[in-house]
Amino acid sequence: MSDHSTAGTERSATAGRGPGRRGRPARLSRDRIIEAALDIVTGEGSAALTMRRVAEALGSSPMSIYRHVRDKDELLVLLLDRIVTDLPRPALPDEPRARLLALLTWQRDELAARPWIVDVLARGDLMAPSVLWLLEEIYAAWRACGLSLEEAATANRIVWNFLLGDLAQHAAHPEGRSPYQAGLPAEADAERYPTVAALRPYWLSPDRRGHLADDLATLVTALTATLPQRCAARPAAGG
């Protein structure tokens, strides 16, 4: 192709484009805002998310963001909703206890892969509509294990707090526990702290945090066995 024809093609491609239109950014939308916000929280955590940061990432102004999203809380809910909606749902066994453990393990693993979500959920005041299917499955599994509605709610609260603690430790030390956490009790004075000192092999075990599946199974077994007894022993209202 000759230089003349090339120049003609370039002129044709830019014909009708005024100087003010060149380099115009893509149209702002809720989807673009969500994608930019996801990049921020994935790389820096939820604390780094502000409307100003999102606006800067999109080459826009904070006021432009507010035309699509009310505030940071609404944006966080949108992020949670996007994440859960896009996740493939796990294959679940039919047996109630195995089904419950599969759901709880899947929930924990997906959260561990996204530490920023743990910080958001730990607040306790934000929830995405797309998570309702998981809540339904988990509470139904507790019920299928023999618990009443009240007992299922209590059991899941206890397990959720247990998982939050595990996830917080995982986020703080993804490679394992800190040397200080292991070293201090392992070197405890056997005369002053005989029980702590006797646990020295446990404190120094390299897989001390590698028993989540067993711990979770033990907790589920204990809750399904003891909660009905606890509720049965509770005095009746007005009694």
Minimum mean pLDDT among 49-58, 60-69, 122-131, 136-145: which range?
A: 122-131
Q: Are 109 and 129 contained in the same domain? A: yes
Q: Are 35 and 146 contained in the same domain? A: no
The parent domain of residue 167 ranges over 93-175+209-239
pLDDT at 208 over 70: no
Pair of tokens at residue 110:
């997906």
The whole-angstrom separation of Cα 222 and Cα 112 is 24
pTM: 0.79
User: Residue 177 phi/psi, 5° resolution?
Assistant: -70, 160
Pair of tokens at residue 174:
């993804």
Q: Are 82 and 114 contained in the same domain? A: no
What are 2-53's pLDDT values in tens digits? 444 444 433 333 444 444 445 555 689 999 999 999 999 999 999 999 999 9
What are 217-239's pLDDT values in tens digits? 999 999 999 998 775 566 655 54
The whole-angstrom separation of Cα 219 and Cα 210 is 16
* CATH number for the domain that contains residue 78: 1.10.10.60
Q: Which residue is listed with tokens 């959920």?
A: 121
The whole-angstrom separation of Cα 4 and Cα 119 is 61
User: Residue 35 phi/psi, 5° resolution?
Assistant: -65, -45
Minimum mean pLDDT among 78-82, 89-93, 182-186: which range?
A: 182-186
